[in-house]
Chains A and B, each alone.
Chain A
């Protein structure tokens, strides 16, 4: 059940939602709403942007300013919104396909610019909505409809990608850690620049069925048994870390935020009317 303080943020008229019962994305939506409420955000000053995918249906259910755009392009839209009104809090919710396949270009450039947006990447290792095709985060050997005998394409590490591209806050948690999810999203929102919170989500329908994680509970147990906090991971060997999900805050650093740089440029060259 949603916590009472987030009820105002729900567009209940759009319920029941389209997610499969037990889909991990619902846990993430709840964490986002708690983080926004706890951070003292107002609905009319908060934008939730998304692309296309099961994950991207989320803004339909959130009663703030929402925009449901095209597959992979939500960060481009969000960038426009942030530049038009830098005062807004922008949370961009994206699937792993949305973020790292078709929208990969926008993702790395948002990281590079360090624009004040929080990207919540809901990584279920699969294209859920279109029927379980392999995505750029499908683990090696995992089965998908387009990889019936196991994926052979090396996957992306979303957090390393974000770190390499210049995001100033990068963290990862799993849906088995809802409190941590909320905390990291809050920290991401508090960060002035571009924040990436990768949340390992589950799609028992499309991924689980093919990979021995048929039920939502199988997935939660899998995440519980295979997550390693960053501090512990640092003392583990690469062999021991194989197949593990490292959770924690990977990047927390200060750097000039893009819309602020832009504003100061305008002030500097604009002749100071």
Chain B
């Protein structure tokens, strides 16, 4: 029997971790993800999980411990934000290259300077080429569900890659809302036991991790990672399909809202999709054919699904909660690339919003929609909710 409870995005992650019962969690506190290891440490102290929780002295040590445990064959999870994520950066590409299926609760927070603890996507966007799978969630329910699915996706033999499960700092992580939890048993049977490939601790079959591969083999190994990423979408669909059958909650790689007949579509990620969809409803009442496309799976980028959703639109607005200083914003770049490859030219506006936790209101979404509706189009980056 599933049960419903009021909980925060962070506690939803911690609860998923309790049910998953990973072998190792190594973590270091940082706002706004601190609640995850903190809540989980209560579960450990109360004997509700069998996890070895290592409270290390920095995020760099946390992810290093996680990586070593993962290649040893353990099921491993951790969480962090912003500077913590940035400090882990050295280890991220190594984890992907070792094919370590770590599941990571990433609570998005802006990178300094100035010092800021609120939400934007600059921390995870800075890791978009590190070889990890990136999934962005809209609310607490989705965060909880995705943590569970992520274990299966990460550990699938055709994938074997680490996963970031991203949620918006404070907005989702600290907001209490109803979440439906699965049974412990149901979670455990859904994820199964980890069956590691080439574990370091298989002493009968010794293996080496971290070998040197210079001009001779480095390139081939990277090519294999490219290939592994290509399997992700298929495995994702399998796992999400099975999950939907069990729970009735369906998570396609992109979430379409009234896009089928839409002339103007807003593309957005994470919690701000709520305000965007609300605005879609209000503008539809006034007779405007608008829709919203929310990108859930960002790495690998689901180009085909994106093109399918956008191809009928007359114009689109892409909203990024991160800037790519000196180049177009990251989501915008991906969307344009996907459309270009499909031979489709749709006029597109690019907006940056919500940096450093600046609120994103329905009137901000409306401003962007009205630009589309009034054919106020240009390739110039625009900013929503900024004082200039």
Contacts and interface: CB of A to CB of B under 8 A. Distances in A.
A-side binding surface: helix, strand, loop or mixed? loop
Nearest to B60: A102
Interface stretch (B36-44, B292-300, B332-340): B36-44
B64 interface: no
A134 to B, nearest CB: 6
Interface string A99-117: 0011010000000000000
26 contacts: A52-B83, A68-B115, A71-B83, A101-B57, A101-B58, A102-B59, A104-B57, A127-B29, A129-B31, A130-B30, A130-B31, A131-B29, A131-B34, A131-B38, A133-B34, A134-B55, A136-B57, A145-B38, A145-B41, A146-B29, A147-B41, A147-B45, A147-B55, A148-B41, A148-B42, A153-B55
Interface in B40-58: 41-42, 45, 55, 57-58
Given A146-B41, A148-B45, A130 B58 contact: no
B29 A130 contact: yes
A4 to B, nearest CB: 31
A120 to B, nearest CB: 20
Contacts of A133: 29, 34, 38, 55
Interface of A: 52, 68, 70-72, 101-102, 104, 127, 129-131, 133-134, 136, 145-149, 153
A102 B57 contact: yes
B249 to A, nearest CB: 31
Contacts of B28: 102
B178 interface: no
B112 interface: yes
Nearest to B114: A68
Contacts of A102: 28, 57-59
A102 B29 CA distance: 11
A70 B29 contact: no
Contacts of A72: 58
In the A-B complex, the 8 residue pairs with the closest CB atoms: A102-B58, A101-B57, A130-B29, A148-B45, A146-B41, A133-B29, A146-B55, A145-B38
A90 B57 CA distance: 26
Contacts of A127: 29
A68 B115 CA distance: 9
B61 to A, nearest CB: 9
A52 B34 contact: no
From A52, A102, A136, name the one whose CB has the most chain B CB atoms within 10 angstroms.
A102
A136 B58 CA distance: 11
A11 to B, nearest CB: 16
Nearest to A150: B45
Contacts of B57: 101-102, 104, 136
B45 A149 contact: yes
Contacts of A136: 57
A130 B83 CA distance: 14
A153 B31 CA distance: 23
Contacts of A52: 83, 115
B65 to A, nearest CB: 14
Contacts of A71: 30, 83
Given A102-B28, A145-B38, A146-B38, 15 more contacts: A52-B115, A70-B83, A71-B30, A71-B83, A102-B59, A129-B31, A130-B29, A130-B34, A131-B29, A133-B34, A133-B55, A146-B41, A146-B55, A147-B41, A148-B45
A131 B42 CA distance: 14
Nearest to B42: A148
A72 B30 CA distance: 13
Nearest to B28: A102
A71 B37 CA distance: 19
B246 to A, nearest CB: 33
Interface in B359-388: none
A134 B115 CA distance: 24
Nearest to A68: B115
Interface in B154-207: none
B111 to A, nearest CB: 10
A131 B117 CA distance: 14
Contacts of A104: 57
A68 B114 CA distance: 10
A145 B14 CA distance: 15
A131 B41 CA distance: 13
Contacts of B58: 72, 101-102
Contacts of B83: 52, 70-71
A259 to B, nearest CB: 27
Contact of A70 (B31, B41, B55, B112): B112
A135 to B, nearest CB: 9
A71 B58 CA distance: 9
Contacts of A148: 41-42, 45
